[in-house]
Amino acid sequence: MVLGGGLMGSGIVQVAAQAGYKVTMVDTSDAALDNGRSIIQKSLSRVARKKFADDETAQKSFVEKVFSNISTSTNADQTASGSDLVVEAIVENIDIKQKVFGALDKVAPKHSIFCSNTSSLPVTKIAEIVSADRKTRFAGLHFFNPVPAMKLVEVVRTDAVSDEVFDALFEFTAKVGKTPVACKDTPGFIVNRLLVPYMMEAFRILERGEASAKDVDTAMKLGAGMPMGPIELADFVGLDTMKFIVDGWQKEGIVEPALVKPCTILNDLVSQGRLGRKTGQGFFEYK
Ligand code: CAA
Ligand code: NAD
């Protein structure tokens, strides 16, 4: 079961279904599930076109076969009661994540493994809400955007999680075609601990008027070999998610404060509802 059918949840559903797992995508409304299905449809069509370049019938049957492994639901409790693995990819808010996991803990089978795809929250803190038994079956499983293309998953080990569960998650990650790395439960794990302060400094370059957004991106692509510049990447990640991450770290004081000090340009865009690619506007405009 994947909870949340947004950017990340839909990608996790897709790679699990492509690997042959039966997976249910759960969200709060039919509209959100439609959005998730449409992200998967586009991405799978792209994969199919590449896999079966000159064979439209094979493309169609590939997409249908993957979709046959996917169901959708707005009933999280009912879905969890029949799930071996729950991967949560909902909004980056500790209270909401805890509320959801607290409820699922009561209905999921004892053997179910719970994972959060959180970008920045301590997994141990999210897991505080569940029973002692479930804490031994609770870990971070951090995928990257776009999930179908990015090869890494950070598997986050809390003090409570059992070796058996941690090993099972490594195995699952490999089965969905990703390379797992083991991380301690530290802020931002490995990738975001490095990537988020870098992106924040790029916003500050704009605030200080030192270069244009386009030139910052061109500089990092051509001068540092990045596939996307930091501004374009922030739009890709979602500016709301970026803000949740840095505000959370700021509030908790868990990373060097100067690295995540509030940034007016980011706050203004979020308050205008310009959340990046997913809303058609962020730092840049998208058609
Ligand atoms: N679905 C399926 N496949 C996709 C895809 C999608 N949505 N997007 C890209 N791909 C595949 C392409 O088919 C292609 O596959 P092959 O290499 O097998 O040919 C490959 O990815 C590269 O795609 P393209 O050639 O079309 O485009 P590109 O070279 O411009 O790459 C990109 C696109 C992979 C997104 C690249 O720009 C990139 O790597 N950008 C940086 C992404 C990144 O840094 N993500 C991490 C964000 S941080 C995060 O996720 C953590 C967090 O907690 C916030
Ligand atoms: P998103 O806004 O695209 O999607 C979130 C989805 O969760 C929405 O469809 C929303 O309707 C749904 N949702 C909210 N509350 C719910 C609930 N109680 N039950 C079921 N569904 C609910 O967000 P996203 O970018 O997919 O991020 C999801 C999580 O993944 C966050 O924790 C984020 O930090 C993390 N993450 C994001 C990225 C990224 O690049 N965007 C990368 C890695 C990890």
Show the tokens assigned to 172: 């699952």
Q: Mean pLDDT over all residues of the chain?
A: 97
Cβ of 100 less than 6 Å from ligand 2: yes
Per-residue model confidence (pLDDT) at position 98: 98
Of the listed ligands, the closest to the CA of 104 is 2
Look-up of token digits 């991450």: 245
Q: Classify domain 192-279 at the CATH topology level.
A: N-(1-d-carboxylethyl)-l-norvaline Dehydrogenase; domain 2 (1.10.1040)
Q: Is 135 annotated as a binding residue?
A: no
Q: Which of 43, 90, 117, 118 to mutate to test the pocket of ligand 1 (most atoms within 8 A of CB)?
A: 43
Nearest partner of 262 among 241, 244, 240, 246, judged by Cα:
246
Cis amide leading into 146 (omega within 30): yes
- For 9, other C-beta atoms within 10 Å of its C-beta total 26
Cβ of 241 less than 6 Å from ligand 2: yes
Per-residue model confidence (pLDDT) at position 252: 81
Quote the percentage of the chain above a pLDDT of 70: 100
Q: Is 282 annotated as a binding residue?
A: no
Backbone φ, ψ for residue 124 (5° rounding) = -60, -35
| Ligand 1 centroid, distance to 144 Cα (angstroms) | 9
Residues tagged active-site: 119, 142, 154, 192
Provide CB contacts within 8 A for 83, sequence distance 6+. Answer: 1, 24, 108, 109, 112
Which CATH code for domain 2-184?
3.40.50.720
Q: Is 75 annotated as a binding residue?
A: no
Distance CA 111, CA 11 (A): 25
Residue 72 has pLDDT above 90, yes or no: yes
Per-residue model confidence (pLDDT) at position 31: 98
Per-residue model confidence (pLDDT) at position 287: 87
Domain layout of the chain by residue ranges:
2-184, 192-279
Name the strand (E) or helix (H) holding 3.
strand 2-3
Q: Is 27 annotated as a binding residue?
A: yes
Q: What is the crossing angle of helices 56-68 and 30-51, to 10°?
A: 140
Distance CA 44, CA 216 (A): 32
Cβ of 117 less than 6 Å from ligand 2: yes
Distance CA 36, CA 30 (A): 10
101-120 in b/e burial notation, b at 16+ Cβ within 10 A?
beebbeebeeebbbbbbbbb
Bridge partners, residue 24, by sequence: 71
Per-residue model confidence (pLDDT) at position 254: 78
Of the listed ligands, the closest to the CA of 121 is 2
Q: Which of 45, 47, 217 to mutate to test the pocket of ligand 1 (most atoms within 8 A of CB)?
A: 47
CA-nearest residue for atom 14, ligand 1, is 149
Q: Is 106 annotated as a binding residue?
A: no
Lowest pLDDT segment from 51-55, 69-73, 86-90: 51-55
| Ligand 2 centroid, distance to 182 Cα (angstroms) | 22
Of the listed ligands, the closest to the CA of 239 is 2
| Ligand 2 centroid, distance to 162 Cα (angstroms) | 26
CA-nearest residue for atom 42, ligand 1, is 145
- 117-136: per-residue pLDDT in tens? 999 999 999 999 999 999 99
Nearest partner of 25 among 1, 44, 48, judged by Cα:
1
- 217-275: per-residue pLDDT in tens? 999 999 999 999 999 999 999 999 999 999 999 988 878 889 988 899 999 999 999 99
Distance CA 53, CA 250 (A): 48
